[in-house]
Amino acid sequence: MRIQPLSRKLIGGTAALLLAAGAVGLTTGLLAQDKVSYTDLSSKITFDKSDLKRQAAVTSYADVLEGVLPAVVTIYSTKEVDTRRSPMFDDPLFRRFFGLPEGEVPDMHRKQHGLGSGVIITTDGYILTNNHVVEGADEIMVSLSRDQKDYEAKVVGTDPQTDVAVIKIEASNLAHATIGDSSKLRVGDVTLAIGNPFGLEQTVTRGIVSALGRSNLNITGGGYENFIQTDAPINQGNSGGALIDAQGRLVGINTAIQSGFGGGNIGIGFAIPVNMALDIVEELLDQGRVSRGFLGVYLKELDSTMAMALGRDDRSGVLVTEVGKDTPAETAGLKAGDLIVAYNGKPVQSMTKLRLDISNTEPGTEVTFSVVRTNKKMDLEVVLGDLEDRSLAMGGGSEDEDAGSAEPAKSDTKFLPGVEIGELDDSVRSALELDEDVKGVVVTRVNGGSLAAEAGLQSGHIITQVDQTDVASVDEAMKARKALDGEALLLQVYEGGRRDILAIRVEEE
C-alpha cells in the first residue's frame, strides 16, 4: 500500500504519477503579496456553518451540485526541469553521426506539465488548492469549464507543511463555493468529491466520511496532518479539488489517496479539512507566513508496558522523553518522564493531535499542560515559543546514528535479567564521545533474548533515569531499581545526542 498525491505530472509528453507527496520545499509564506488581509478576504467568502440536515434518503444530488460545480477549476502548471546529460554526447563517433559540432552542448532542459484542481472561494478569483499542485511552477493556468476561459494565476501563499496553497486569477463575478464547517462532520456523513481526474473535468463521485483526524500518513513529509478520510472515489488529477457535504458546502480539499500496487483508487482518500485550510490562509495573508507554537520536547506514545510502568490503567496521555535546553518547556519546568494528560483543559488523545494543537496555538500564548509526575498530577503554565525560530522541533525525531558500544567495565553489575551496567568513567565517556553534562550509568551487556532487548535496550546506552529518578552512579541506579513496586521499569536512556524512554517488564529469576 502507498500514499499518493492526486496531481498528475506529464513529463516529456508521457503521463507519470507523482509518488512523493512529501517531496515539497520548506518555504512557507507569501510568494506574491496581494495587499489583502484575511478580514478583507473573508468578507467575500460565503459561509454556511449550520448543522447538516441529515435525511434518510436522497434520490439525486443534481440541485446541490449545480451551485458548486462551476467553482471547481482545472489547474495547469508548467516548470522547467533539468534533465540528465547522456555520456554518449562525449563520444566523438556519436556526435559525428548526429551532426553535432565539437564543443556544442545540447540543451538539457525540458518543460514539465502538471494537472490538478482547485476551488474558487471568492467572486474575484481567490482559489484554494494543494501546495504540491503549484509548487515550483514557472507558469500556472486556470481553466473554468463553464465559460471555456483560461486565466493566468499567481501564487498568493503556500504552506508545504499542511499542503495548502492559495492562488488568484484576475476575474470578477465568478461562481464560488459556500464554505461549511468541517468540525461538524461525523463518520457516515455523505461526501461528494469534485475534480478533474485524468483531465476529465467536473467529475463527481459519492461516498461517506470514513474517518476523521487521520495523521501519521507522511503525506506532508513530516508536516502537520489532520485529514478527513473518505471512500468517495478520487484519482490522479483530483488534488486541490472539492470535497463537499450533502448540502453542497465545501468541507475539504482533496489531497491524496492510498492505492494498491496497481496505483489505482481503492476507496481510501484523504482531504484537508476546510477549517484548517482557511486558518492557514488567514496566517499567510495577515502575517506573510504560518507561525506555529513551539514547546521544545520530544514525545512518545504509551504502550501497555509503559502504561504499567507509570501505574496507569490505560494508555491515555503522551510521555515526554526529552526536554530541549533553553526551550519554553524547560523554562516552565517540564521534565523527561512527565506524562502529559491534558492541554488547556482538554484530554490529550495522541502525540500527533497534541503536536497539531500546539502548532495551531499562536506563539507567545500562555497555555496549561496537565502532567502526571511520579503519580502526582500537576498543572504547568507554559508560554509557547515560535517554531520557526527554533532548531529543535517537537515530536518523534528520526533514528540516530549508532553511538557505539561500551567496553566492559571492571566491575559490571547485574541490573536486570540479562542486563549489566557499569560506571560512566572517563574511559567510557571518551569512547562514546559523551559531553560532560551527560550523567548516568552505561549499559555494558544486554542478552539478545531478554525482555530488556525486546524493549529496545542496547549495549552502549546511557541510563540517565531509573523509574523517573535521576541516577549518576551504579549505586544510585541499583537503589532506584530495588525500590520498584510494580511489574515494569521505566528507563530514560541516552544515545547519539538524543534521549528516549523505555519501559521494560521485570521478571524475577
Q: Which residues are catalytic?
A: 132, 163, 239
CA distance 255 to 6: 6
Report whether 115 contacts 76 (CB < 8 A): yes
Report whether 491 contacts 469 (CB < 8 A): no
CA distance 480 to 475: 9
CA distance 228 to 272: 6
User: Which of these, 326, 320, 325, lies nearest to 306 by C-alpha position?
Assistant: 320
Report whether 130 contacts 164 (CB < 8 A): yes
CA distance 328 to 383: 6
Rounded (10°) CA dihedral 187, 192, 196, 197: 50
CA distance 443 to 302: 23
Helix (H) or strand (E) holding 63: helix 62-68
Tally of CB atoms within 10 A around 142: 22
Report whether 299 contacts 475 (CB < 8 A): no
CA distance 221 to 223: 6
Three-state DSSP class for residue 184: helix
Helix (H) or strand (E) holding 380: strand 376-383
**What's the half-sphere exposure (Cβ side, CA atoms, 13 Å) at 421?**
26
Backbone angles phi, psi at 118, to 5 degrees: -155, 170
Residues counted in the chain: 509
Three-state DSSP class for residue 66: helix
C-alpha cell, 158:
503556500
